[in-house]
């Protein structure tokens, strides 16, 4: 990614999550990913969050889509790009959710 500022934003947002707490919640619910036999470690969760955030930002920039969301394994990413190129990024862990979106 050629935008160093975007990489800094991704790092800052991803580093803001509490991966030990996420891991504890996943262990308490017996949650594991398809590619792991056990609950993923805090480091694995953080790596997945970083990759998902990075890939979602890259896709938004590549396609010109100004709002893009993605999620996997409980990690949820929302990207918004302004007309002037400012990046807003949200990375979260969702234990459960419900909506009427189809």
Task: Flag whether pLDDT at 93 surpasses 80.
Answer: yes
Task: Tell me what the pLDDT averaged over the chain comes to.
Answer: 92
More confident residue, 100 or 10: 10
Residue 56 confidence (pLDDT): 97
Task: Flag whether pLDDT at 78 surpasses 90.
Answer: yes
The Cα–Cα gap between 93 and 45 comes to: 10
Task: Flag whether pLDDT at 55 surpasses 70.
Answer: yes
Residue 35 confidence (pLDDT): 86
- C-alpha distances in angstroms, 62 versus 2, 15, 87, 99? 12, 24, 14, 29
Residue 1 confidence (pLDDT): 52
């Amino acid at each position: 990614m050629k935008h160093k500022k975007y990489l800094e934003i991704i790092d800052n947002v991803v580093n803001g999550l509490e991966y030990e707490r996420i891991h504890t919640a996943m262990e308490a619910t017996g949650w594991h990913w398809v590619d792991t036999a056990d609950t993923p470690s805090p480091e694995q969760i953080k790596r997945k969050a970083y990759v998902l955030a990075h890939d979602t930002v890259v896709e938004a920039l590549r396609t010109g889509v100004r709002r893009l969301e993605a999620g996997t394994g409980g990690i949820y990413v929302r990207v918004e790009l302004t007309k002037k190129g400012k990046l807003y990024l949200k990375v979260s862990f969702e234990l459960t959710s419900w909506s009427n979106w189809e």
